[in-house]
Amino acid sequence: MLDRLAVALLRPPATAAARVLVRAGVGANGITLLGFAIGLGAALAIALGAYVSGAALILLSRLCDALDGAVARQTQATDAGGFLDIALDFLFYASIPLAFALGNPAANALPAALLLTAFIGTSSSFLAFAAFAAKRGMASTDWPDKSLYFLGGLTEATETLTVFLAMCLWPQHFAPLAYGFASLCAITTASRIWWGWRAFQ
């Protein structure tokens, strides 16, 4: 829901930074892999109870996620690069609830499991819509530079990042934050299923 605003704010500085990276010979796929490695570092920090470090690494990882697309647009965007970016993004998002569960299984295992289930709903409905949209030759007018048809919702990347940071800042409230965000993810999943059913009939 907030991704469009976030992109509008971040695109100018990301584009400027990408020019510097392109001149230095840095490729988009390398940035994608670096961002994923930093994201796994964030998960490890959270699992070990270093929540502030985890929050900082999450932000750095998502900065890489903004930069890889900016670099790709200034060089040569490829399907392989788009696939790598999307696949690793979903793995990163799954790693953070898992890290909280590993750090405190007694308190966090159940809410983390529910949140991961909710993530399966949002990601599967997102990717299923994109697959059938591509089959029908549909293109997103809202996000024309995305690698696939980008179907929005109540919970997108910006909202997920915000909740992850809140969990790191107030780890004692992980459970209510996870339950609340899982509920919002359920609304997103239901709306995407409804929209997909209507669009493909």
Domains of the chain: 3-199 (1.20.120.1760)
What is the DSSP-derived secondary structure letter of residue 172?
G
Q: Other CB atoms closer than 10 Å to residue 5's CB: what's the count?
A: 10
Query: How sure is the predictor about 138, in pLDDT bands with cuts at 50, 70 and 90?
Result: confident
Task: Look at residues 6, 125, 130, 119 and name the one whose alpha carbon lies nearest to residue 69.
Answer: 6
Polymer length of the chain? 201
More confident site: 140 or 56: 56
Choice among 40-49, 54-63, 129-138, 147-156 with the minimum mean pLDDT:
147-156
Extract the tokens encoding 31.
Answer: 């940035």
Q: For 102-112, write each residue's pLDDT tens digit.
A: 999 999 999 99
Mean pLDDT across 29-43: 97
Could you give the CA distance from residue 80 to residue 76 in angstroms, rounded to a whole number?
A: 11
Whole-number average pLDDT of the chain: 91
Q: For 64-94, write each residue's pLDDT tens digit.
A: 999 998 999 888 888 899 999 999 999 999 9
Tokens 């959270």 label which residue? Answer: 46
Choice among 38-42, 99-103, 130-134 with the minimum mean pLDDT:
130-134
pLDDT at 133: 87
